[in-house]
Every structure is written in C-alpha cells, then in structure tokens.
Structure 1
C-alpha cells in the first residue's frame, strides 16, 4: 500500500467531481442516521467536559461578566496562549472520533454493520498515537497562526487559514488508518497528494461544505445529520484518488483488527 501511495504522489491520480458526489451521497445515505446520533452524543460529551472545566476554572460566577472577561483576555498574551493550548488539546483528543466518522463510510461502502462504537474504536486502535499526534500538530499550527493574526488585528483571516489547512491535510487521517502511514508521513504526503489535484479537491470539499450547511435550514438542528456529509466526501476523495488493495478471504483471516 505504501508503494501505491508513493506512486500516486509521483505520477498523480484522477478525480471526477460527478463520481465524487455520487459516491459520497451513496455512503452518506447509509450513515447519516447513525452519524447524527453520534453527533448528538458527542455534543453531550463536549458540553459536559467544557461545562465542568468552565466551573472548575471560573466557578459559578456571573456568566455575562465571565464571558466579557474571556473576550477581553483573547487579546492578551496569556489569553492567546490559553486559546492555543485548548485548540491543540481539543484537536488531538477528538481526532480519533473524526477518524471514526471517515471509517463509517468505509464500512458503508463495503456493506458492513455500523454501530456507535465505530466512532470511538480508534481510541483503542494501533493507530491512536499517530492520529492523536497528527491532529496535535495541526491544532498547534492552527492555534499559533490564529494567535499571530489576532496580534496583528487580522483575526478575520483565521477562517482562511483553517480552510487552507483543511485542504492541505484532507488525506492525513485516511493515510494513517488505511495507508498505514505514521503521523509525519501522513501530513507530508497529504500535502503532496493535494497539490496533484488542488482545484478538484477544493471544489469537492466546497460542495461538501454547502451540502453540510443545508441542514441549518431544517430548523437548524438538521445540521447534526448533514454535518457528517463532509467526511463522506473526504472518504470518497481518498477512495477515488488512492483506493484500496484487493484482498482475498484467506488474506483477511487472522488480520489484526482495527
């Protein structure tokens, strides 16, 4: 598989926007309900974790006053450092879940059963270290760049920075969990692969983003179920660009579980 990936980097690959849309929608149809439930569960977990941290750090003080202080502190050195740390740790901690959303599409593509456990199974997989470290690096990079933009009063550009990083690293998680790459190679090769088809990948992910935000029009809560479509497109891009090696039933016997 590593040779196949290196070959794609060397010789390039082809993408077809129409096929990407068809393939991503096909897997999304099979995963959107279970992915939506996972999103709700993650929202609850996220609220509990951050609510607990908020209370531990700031106590049961006046919420309006506290939020005003937090907004003001963003422009200070300590405030920016705190933001960078939180961004970095959050990126690393939730990266295995992101990998789970991508993998759910792989299971759907192969008509395999998908349960809630799929979204959390990478926490105990052999890929956890590289998944965690890759997003730790990306979170740190994002945090530092955003902090720099705040210091020079260009905070609005942070959205562009995040979008560019998302494009450059679109292959990172699939390369780790399917290409058996370590975190360094996954990030590096993702950037190299992106520049083989930058326009088509940008268009595909833009369409995925538009499809994702359409859920806002369904009483806002619909985005819970449309948000995972982005990961369906990420999987479709990897599937069409890199693909998977064919294995016989005998080859699969005894294969190490994820």
Structure 2
C-alpha cells in the first residue's frame, strides 16, 4: 500500500523513526555539490535586488540624508529606539520574512530537482509565490515570526542573551520541516507546523546536531571574503531536503505533482 504524507506522520506519531546522522549528512552534502554554484548565484542576485529595492523605498519615504544618518552605528543601538520604532522594525522584519520565505522553499525544491537530475529554471525560484503554496507558506512563516518576535521581546527584559539564543535555536529546530511539509507533503500551514514539531520531538538531538554542523559549515563562507556565504547557504536548504527525504520520503503522486 502506498503511504501518503499523512500516513507517514501517523506512523511516526505511533512508532517514531530511526535516523542516521552520517547518512543524512552525506545525503545533504552530495546534493549540495550539485546546487552550490547555481543556488549561490540565485541568493546573491536576490539579495542585491532586495537591497536596492529596500534602500529605494526608504530613500523615497524619508530622504537620502535621513537614511544615511539613521544607519550610522551610534544610531543603531536597540536601547536607543523608542517603543514605536521597535514595533515598526518588528513589523517590517516579520513582513520581509513572510515575503521571502517562498524563495527558501524554492531553494529546497532546487535540491529536490538536483537529486533527480531535473532542470531548475529561474522561473522556478518564484514558483511558490503562486497558489496554493504562497498562502500556506506566508501563514506558517507569519505565525513563527510572531512567536519569535514576542519571545525575543519578553526575553530581552531578562537581559540574559544566552536565553534568547537558546529560544531561537529551539524555534528553528522544531520548525525545520515546516516548509518541506507544505511544498512536498501538501499540508496546510498549521498542519505543517504541528507535524514538524511532532516529527522533530521524536529525534531532537540528532536533528539538533545536524543543524549545528550544517550552520557551522555555512559560516565557513564568511572566511576570507564574506560574499562566500551565499555559496555555502544552499547547504542548509540541501540539509532540510535531505532530512525530509530520509524521514518522510515521497509518494508517487507527490513525485508527479512536484515535477509539474
């Protein structure tokens, strides 16, 4: 009998699953080698375009002089911001995260295509801005961003940075399968979030180890020339894909839909 994503999740809920650190890491690395250059170039181009757009909007609204003055290091201290400024920044940050999250989904799809030696076009980068994916990805990212923002605000009052770091890692860890479950498993936003938490809770230490090693590997791109990080960032997307592939897998119906 063919197992759907929901069937697999129910199976995991009852019996858990086994996961080999080495197999997943090797799977991710072999896949990453296929997407490193193309994925890095995509990230670089998108970053440049978004930066130009953001600065253009800010300059159009506030004027060039005001923007330059605001960006001076002495003016970027959080303790100097008013409550209204912090709320505005939080709102803008959440909105940006929601709007660029389909690009993260596209990079994970790139890893999927690379493993199957399928062509990945520039247009595919914007595939998840279309229905039905965009709404679900937007909602899921919005919920997580709100939770992260509220947690950070509350924790900042404790003045213990390590707590903020731990909470950020926990949120990141338990939501790593959220987007893959939406784009590959065809789940709704809240269903994907709940399923991701359930799945990660069965093997949190191995998955945490993979994320930590993957993050360290990504930061290698900062050595020498910081621009190198755009070519190591796709490793995390490849890692998310490999984790999903090893734990959930793909049923034939999903394979056909993902190729269209």
Structure with more helix by fraction: 2
Residue number among 167, 182, 206 corresponding to 1:176 in the alignment: 182
Give the aligned partner of residue 230 of structure 2. Answer: 224
Does the Cα contact within 8 Å between 2:59 and 2:67 map onto a contact in 1?
no
Q: Distance in 2 between matches of 1:45 and 1:157?
A: 34
Does the Cα contact within 8 Å between 1:32 and 1:228 map onto a contact in 2?
yes
Structure 2: any 5+ residue segments left out of the alignment? none
1:106 pairs with 2:112: yes
Alpha-carbon shift at residue 107 of structure 1 (Å):
0.7
1:208-219 equivalences under 5 Å are 208-219=214-225
Tell me, what secondary structure is at the counterpart of 2:226? Answer: coil
- Report the aligned-residue RMSD: 2.2
Alpha-carbon shift at residue 256 of structure 1 (Å):
8.2
Residue number among 146, 167, 170 corresponding to 2:152 in the alignment: 146
Structure 1: any 5+ residue segments left out of the alignment? none
- Per-residue displacement from partner, 1:151-206 (whole Å, max 9, x unpaired)? 44345643332221110101100111111110011111111110100000000111
**TM-score (normalised: structure 1):** 0.90
Give the aligned partner of residue 40 of structure 2. Answer: 36
Residue number among 112, 123, 127 corresponding to 2:129 in the alignment: 123
Residue number among 245, 252, 255 corresponding to 1:246 in the alignment: 252
Give the aligned partner of residue 87 of structure 2. Answer: 81
Q: Distance in 1 between matches of 2:107 and 2:152?
A: 26
Alpha-carbon shift at residue 143 of structure 1 (Å):
1.4
Q: Distance in 2 between matches of 1:140 and 1:55?
A: 27
1:153-168 equivalences under 5 Å are 153-154=159-160, 157-168=163-174
Give the aligned partner of residue 98 of structure 2. Answer: 92
Q: Distance in 2 between matches of 1:84 and 1:143?
A: 7
> How many residues in Structure 1 have an aligned counterpart in Structure 2?
254
Q: Distance in 2 between matches of 1:32 and 1:180?
A: 26
The 1:190/1:72 distance shift into structure 2, 3 A limit, reads: closer
Q: Distance in 2 between matches of 1:147 and 1:56?
A: 30
1:196 pairs with 2:202: yes
Q: Distance in 1 between matches of 2:166 and 2:197?
A: 17
**TM-score (normalised: structure 2):** 0.89
Alpha-carbon shift at residue 109 of structure 1 (Å):
1.3
